[in-house]
Amino acid sequence: MKSPLTLVLAALAVGASAAVVTTAQDKPVPTRLGFVDLGKAYDTYRKRKDVAESLNAKKKDLLASLKKRASEIDEKSGQLNTLNPGTTNYANLEREIAFAKYMLDFDQKSMRNQLEDESRKQLAAIYKEISQEAEAYGAEHQLAAVLLYLPPDFDVGSNFELFSFTRTVLCRDPQLDVTKEVVDRLNQFLPPPAVQPAPAPVDDPKEPKKPK
């Protein structure tokens, strides 16, 4: 025969279990999903545009530097044609040109790799920001999950096979798209976009010019 204490403890345990089940049932499990269109997010998140413009400006400066060095090599090649082959001056200048060409080719490949690596890192950082903001938005709006959606016309370059094998969401209801909401939250933390100057007025050739 069980003691009264054992019966009391058993009753408390049953009551605690019932309370846990009741509490869990009182809190509904989220079932609504959200989707972020990655292409649309990249196009509308102003930070990505700023990063792209910064990388393009850097690329332009590097190309200008390489072009200047190539012009200097062409100029020295012209000077080489004025010297007699077999002379010391000819050999020294020929060696200098060969070394300059080697360094130009090396630096060109190195700069290209540097830009590509920087671009990948910047894109990865932006992807992480979008993911974190989607997570925060989903938690605030009690979404079961926020899934990545890539539209069929998403630009994947030559990686179509990888794209088709990893594109797990083939379609989604447009009403579940939360891309704008997530990106708007990200954009609000950025400085306001620079105001573009108004274009200068163009004189109408049909109207008579006003006297100055």
> Residue 95 domain-assigned?
yes
Inside any domain, residue 4: no
Q: Which CATH number does the domain housing residue 44 bear?
A: 3.30.910.20
**Torsion, Cα of 24, 27, 33, 36 (10° steps):** -110
- Does residue 91 fall inside a structural domain? yes
Domain annotation covers residue 194 = no
Residue 139 lies in a domain: yes
CB 35 within 8 A of CB 130: no
pLDDT tens digit string along 17-34? 444 444 445 677 788 999
Indicate the pTM of the whole model.
0.69
User: Which residues constitute the domain of residue 102?
Assistant: 31-187
Beta bridge partners of 135: none
User: How far is the C-alpha of 178 from the C-alpha of 82, rounded, in Å?
Assistant: 69
Is 19 inside a domain boundary?
A: no
Q: What is the pLDDT of residue 28?
A: 77
Question: Is 84 inside a domain boundary?
Answer: yes
Report yes or no on 124 lying in a domain: yes
Domain count, the chain: 1
Reported as a single tens digit per residue, the pLDDT across 65-119 is: 999 999 999 999 999 989 999 899 999 999 999 999 999 999 999 999 999 999 9
